[in-house]
Amino acid sequence: MIDALCMSGSYPFRHLTMSTRAVAERLASEGFRECFMFNLTALFHRDPWWGNLDFTREETEADCRVHKLAVFNPDYEDRVRVREYVKMGFVGFVTSPIYHGYRLTGRRVLGNLAEALNNGALVILDLVEDPRQLHRAYAFRFRLRLGELSDALRRLSNGIEGEVRILLSHFPYSDLVNLRNLYSGPVYVDLASSQVLGAPYSHVEELVKLYGSSNVVLSTGFMMKYPKSSVLKLQLSKIPDEDKGKIATLNAHRLYGV
């Protein structure tokens, strides 16, 4: 299996910390042979450069091969920074409007995201944390609207030649269903859930119907989520075994181009 999105680093609201190697070893114990990982610490800074730089220096030797993703703030960083991240060996970019507080449809933002897409895959992260330990700062957090998201996806996909390699990660199931009424173009979605124990496995079947089996990937969201929940959702779903195989392995390679 291949984990299309996991994370290491520090999560300040829950005093949760795991090294890159520890995350990879845990995923290896769950049967994953490859994973795509970003540094969670970098997500909590307006300028994620130093978090990404520290991430490149972390040891990754484990039975689960680690492909590293850079956290990217298109409202603060620029196209030059994108090229620097590529030189540092990152194979994709993770951006989160709800953490960095920007509008996806801003001219500067769209220009920088388009540059990121031309240099790797783009992950738009809508990570919703454990509701049992809500921090008071959450009440003031920026919200991502579906109309804004669909407009941004449409404009980004129209400006890209070739396959559109955008992943919507950790979005609530209801948002992914409603988004299909607003945007019918190409996009990847994952099985990571905003719920602590994972969404019902029947959601896998619905996502395959809406987005196609070639556009759904397996993401655990570990270290923030339990790694088994996404795996069990896929195994218990009633989709064909051929589709399960694509979701567990092939689709992640297509998304990231590695």
Q: What pLDDT is recorded for position 132?
A: 47
Single-letter amino acid code for the residue at 239:
I
- CA–CA dist 183, 177 (Å, integer): 10
pLDDT value of residue 245: 94
Long-range CB pairs of 242-245, under 8 A, 24+ apart, other chains included: 243/208, 243/213
Angle, vertex CA 209, rays to CA 206 and CA 213, nearest 5: 105
CA quadruple 185, 182, 146, 227: dihedral positive or negative?
negative
Question: Among 226, 222, 249, 225, which Cα is nearest to 6's?
Answer: 222
3-state secondary structure of 211: helix
Secondary structure (H, E, C), 32-60:
CCEEEEEEHHHHHCCCCHHHHHHHHHCCC
> How buried is residue 225: exposed, middle or buried, by Cβ count under 10 Å (0-12/13-18/19+)?
buried
Q: Which CATH number fits domain 2-256: 3.20.20.140, 3.40.50.300, 3.40.50.970, 3.40.50.720?
A: 3.20.20.140
- 75 backbone dihedrals φ, ψ, rounded to 5°: -90, -15
Secondary structure element (H or E) that encloses residue 8, with its range: strand 2-11
- pLDDT, residue 143, reads 75
In this prediction, the residues of the chain whose per-residue pLDDT falls under 50 are 131-133
pLDDT tens digits for 194-225? 655 555 668 899 999 999 999 999 999 898 88
- The reported pLDDT for the residue numbered 144 is 82
pTM across the whole model: 0.92
